[in-house]
Amino acid sequence: METNALDVNKQSWDQAAPRFFARNPLPEYGPLAPSEEELHLFGDVDRLKVLEIGCGSGHSLKYLDEKQAGELWGIDLSTKQIEAAQTVLKDSKAPVTLFESPMEVNPGLPTDYFDIVFSIYALGWTTNLTKTLENVYRYLKPGGSFIFSWEHPMYNRVRQHQHGLTVDKSYHEEGAYAHEAWSSPAIMQQYRLSTYLNHLIDHGFKVERVIEDVCLADAQKHTNGWYGYEKAQMIPTTLIIKCLKQ
């Protein structure tokens, strides 16, 4: 199942890459979520070594380059996304190293090396959360930060209708499911909030911040068939977690 899901998702992301070019990169953490300019989870990145899991088109790394990060590293499953990131980051001040690889596999990244590992709306694509978090832990220096955002675990369990909201999928249900919003087949993973937190703790991380807030000031920018102002008033769209390697 794991290998098949990776093959399916790679093909799907290669097709969808242009659609997601520069879509919600840092300082944004996700649709209708507070931004890095408000949260300051990264702090001062001057001369720090940073690695993005699911780097997409490279715009989040570009943002950190503008903040004087020391080294820019990225990993992404999609050939097209890596090609886009290479173009976006070609004039970066900091050295850039990109790997085309699933996040479940270490393609040659150094261990105990990075000050910050981060992931913006990508972690839920992993086919194996345990392997991915094991890799992240190895990549980080002791005391380094892992910061990630993903769609809030409640969001896709709830549907908005003309007369309100209904729960149409059990919150207790976890695992792989077909991503219904894409034109080409794609397989995503859903976990409970407690699963994310307990996996992080079990892998040696110290959870520092958990953020479920919404920011409705830019609602018009993000309103579409999936994310919307009315639903976000009731259900958070985005989960943001910062933790430290102990």
Q: How far apart are CA 82 and CA 91, in angstroms?
A: 15
Rounded mean pLDDT of the chain? 93
Average pLDDT over residues 146-154: 97
pLDDT surpassing 80 at residue 211: yes
Residue 35 class from Cβ within 10 Å (0-12 exposed, 13-18 middle, 19+ buried)?
Answer: middle
pLDDT surpassing 70 at residue 225: no
Tokens found for residue 150: 């993903």
In 3-state terms the chain splits into helix, strand, coil percentages (rounded to 5) of: 30, 30, 40
pLDDT surpassing 70 at residue 220: no
Cα torsion angle, 185, 224, 216, 168, sign: negative
pTM equals: 0.94
Q: How far apart are CA 11 and CA 15, in angstroms?
A: 6
Average pLDDT over residues 113-121: 98
Residue 209 is inside which H or E element, if any? strand 205-211
> In the prediction, which pLDDT does 3 show?
66
- From the centroid of its chain, how far is CA 114? 17
> In the prediction, which pLDDT does 66 show?
98
At 100, the amino acid letter reads E
Confidence bin at 160 (pLDDT 50/70/90)? confident
Confidence bin at 222 (pLDDT 50/70/90)? low
How far from 15 is each of 169, 200, 203, CA to CA, in Å? 28, 32, 34
Q: How far apart are CA 208 and CA 42, in angstroms?
A: 12
The residue among 1 and 233 whose pLDDT is bigger is: 233
Lowest mean pLDDT among 26-35, 79-88, 198-207, 216-225: 216-225
Strands 205-211 and 114-120: unpaired
Fold of 2-245: Rossmann fold (3.40.50)
pLDDT surpassing 90 at residue 72: yes
> In the prediction, which pLDDT does 219 show?
60
